[in-house]
């Protein structure tokens, strides 16, 4: 059985059965993109004077594939109906606090915002805030006070010259808030001090015990609940945890089709599947890759996004990312250049991190042995692999849990391992080891 066949077999086992319509893609073939001049624009039957301006068409692409802000319209939230329903049941109906966690780009913030809108419709007041590094319990919740529905005059009792503690905040929420309120705290993973996390856990329990009208929804990057919150054991009775997993292939494809339609374009199927595979379940990456592919088609005056546009879009997205994160890109290039037979293990680290941001020695070893056997995937290989990419990793969570310092980078690492880096802007000839890796990593995008 070839490496690529073993990879397909392992991924099917990971996902529990036959591939079907799951996240196992077709092979990614990174061939040199066709020159734009060779791609003939598809005639639309309209006179050139009737064509929208270039600026208008490009603006339509940017608007349709917008990656700068979270989705706020429930109709633009792809593949999250189940998560929305579970949050409504747990938070709005059962009155639990909640954790929403997953990888960056998985759509956590979009899910939380759409959930907040639905909670508003159900009669709750949903307020949004964002944590900052080094903040304490007072700094985490004081920004909400100006918008809280407080009893008249209660605001004058809030100390302005000193920080509030857990008990003061709990008393304020219980005694002063006049309407049921949801406080949605995004980027909670930026709260790194153990004391603040412990105080948040204490606050959640106090609010539950005191039958407060205020509930708290924490949103952050993590691979598990403990990665976000060192909670009291008894707190778990009052807490609902909602993981935000990678989106299934068909849902991601539907999102891309919708974006293209809004821009007045359409994907050819092979182009669509190439982008779906490269995104590894991330709606953010799908939008980024899709936007660059759409811009390629738009620049050529075509209304259909072809495979060559998708390939060029991946290269452009990778080049754009490398411009923003040159140090991490250099780490990946160096690691892949030195990896030799461990190139597949490096790519595997990207795949695993794209599914759940936390990497552990045990997780890497189990997947590596399943996929490559003891020699190329066992403990010694994992040690070497982690050593090669170590400058791009951090250990900010639980002991022994590693994360990519740039949490958007795993998909780009897999692209580079697949050979896409060779086609960015000033493309170099394709080397033999890249061709081997290409064969090895077919189907890597879950």
pLDDT tens track for 266-317: 999 999 999 999 999 888 899 999 999 999 999 999 999 999 999 999 999 9
Q: What is the pLDDT of residue 111?
A: 86
More confident of the two residues 48 and 345: 345
Tell me the CA distances in angstroms from 174 to 5, 122, 123, 145, 151, one per residue in order: 59, 21, 18, 13, 11
Q: What pLDDT band is residue 10 in, cutting at 50, 70 and 90?
A: low
pLDDT for 71-81, tens place per residue? 555 555 666 78
More confident of the two residues 167 and 425: 167
Instruction: Check pLDDT > 90 for residue 201.
Output: no
Give residues with Cβ within 8 angstroms of 155, minimum separation 6.
145
Q: What is the pLDDT of residue 22?
A: 35
pLDDT for 361-407, tens place per residue? 999 999 999 889 999 999 999 999 999 999 999 876 667 788 898 88
**446: exposed, middle or buried (Cβ count in 10 Å: 0-12, 13-18, 19+):** buried
Percentage of the residues of the chain whose pLDDT score is greater than 90: 41
CA-closest candidate to residue 244, choices 11, 87, 437, 9? 87
Instruction: Check pLDDT > 90 for residue 435.
Output: no
Q: What is the pLDDT of residue 108?
A: 84
pTM to 2 decimals? 0.69
Q: Roughly what angle, to the nearest 10 degrees, separates helices 361-377 and 343-355?
A: 160
Please give the Cα distance from 45 to 56 (Å, whole number): 19
Is residue 350 within 8 Å of residue 332, measured between CB atoms?
A: no
Q: What pLDDT band is residue 442 in, cutting at 50, 70 and 90?
A: low
Please give the Cα distance from 409 to 320 (Å, whole number): 12
Please give the Cα distance from 177 to 171 (Å, whole number): 10
Helical residues (DSSP H) of 182-282, grouped into ranges: 194-209, 249-262, 269-279
Structure tokens at 200: 């948040």
Task: Out of 86-100, 123-137, 228-242, pick the least confident.
Answer: 228-242
Q: What is the pLDDT of residue 33?
A: 43
Please give the Cα distance from 125 to 215 (Å, whole number): 10
DSSP category for residue 413:
H
Q: What pLDDT band is residue 228 in, cutting at 50, 70 and 90?
A: low
10 Å Cβ neighbour count for 420? 23
Every domain of the chain with CATH number 3.40.50.300 lies at 80-244
Q: What is the pLDDT of residue 151?
A: 84
Q: What pLDDT band is residue 31 in, cutting at 50, 70 and 90?
A: very low
Q: What is the pLDDT of residue 419?
A: 80
pLDDT for 115-148, tens place per residue? 888 898 888 999 999 998 888 999 999 999 889 9
10 Å Cβ neighbour count for 46? 8
More confident of the two residues 133 and 228: 133
Please give the Cα distance from 303 to 300 (Å, whole number): 9
CATH superfamily of 80-244: P-loop containing nucleotide triphosphate hydrolases (3.40.50.300)
């Amino acid at each position: 059985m070839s490496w690529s066949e073993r990879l397909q077999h392992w991924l099917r086992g990971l996902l529990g059965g036959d591939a079907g319509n799951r996240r196992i893609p077709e092979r990614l073939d990174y061939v040199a993109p066709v020159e734009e001049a060779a791609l003939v624009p598809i005639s639309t039957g309209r006179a050139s004077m009737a064509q929208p301006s270039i600026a208008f068409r490009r603006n339509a692409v940017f608007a349709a594939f917008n990656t700068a802000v979270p989705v706020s319209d429930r109709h633009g939230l792809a593949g999250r109906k189940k998560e929305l329903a579970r949050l409504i049941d747990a938070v709005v109906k059962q009155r639990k606090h909640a954790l929403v966690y997953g990888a960056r780009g998985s759509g956590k913030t979009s899910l939380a915002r759409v959930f907040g809108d639905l909670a508003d419709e159900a009669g709750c007041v949903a307020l949004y805030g964002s944590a900052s590094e080094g903040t304490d319990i007072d700094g985490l919740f004081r920004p909400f006070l100006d918008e809280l529905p407080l009893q008249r005059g209660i605001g004058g009792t809030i100390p302005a010259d000193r920080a509030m503690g857990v008990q003061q905040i709990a008393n304020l929420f219980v005694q002063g808030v006049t309407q049921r309120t949801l406080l949605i705290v995004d980027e909670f993973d930026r709260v790194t001090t153990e004391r603040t996390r412990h105080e948040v856990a204490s606050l959640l329990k106090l609010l539950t015990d005191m039958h407060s009208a205020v509930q708290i929804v924490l949103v952050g990057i993590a691979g598990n609940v403990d990665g976000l919150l060192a909670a009291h054991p008894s707190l778990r009775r009052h807490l609902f945890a909602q993981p935000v997993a990678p989106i299934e292939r068909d849902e991601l494809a539907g999102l891309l089709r919708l974006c293209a339609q809004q821009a007045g374009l359409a994907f050819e199927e092979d182009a669509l599947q190439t982008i779906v595979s490269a995104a590894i379940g991330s709606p953010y990456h799908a939008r980024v890759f899709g936007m660059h592919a759409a811009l390629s088609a738009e620049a050529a005056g075509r209304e259909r996004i072809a495979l060559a546009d998708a390939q060029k879009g991946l290269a452009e997205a990778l080049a754009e990312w490398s411009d923003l994160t040159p140090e991490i890109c250099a780490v990946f290039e160096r690691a892949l250049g030195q990896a030799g037979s461990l190139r597949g293990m490096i790519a595997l680290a990207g795949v695993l991190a794209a599914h759940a941001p936390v990497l552990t020695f045990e997780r890497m070893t189990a997947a590596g042995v399943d996929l490559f056997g003891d020699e190329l995937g066992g403990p010694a290989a994992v040690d070497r692999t982690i050593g090669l990419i170590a400058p791009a990793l951090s250990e900010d969570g639980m002991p022994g849990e590693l994360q990519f310092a740039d949490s958007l980078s795993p998909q780009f690492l897999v692209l580079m391992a697949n050979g896409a880096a060779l086609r960015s802007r000033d493309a170099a000839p394709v080397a033999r080891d890249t061709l081997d890796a290409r064969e090895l990593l077919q189907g890597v995008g879950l």
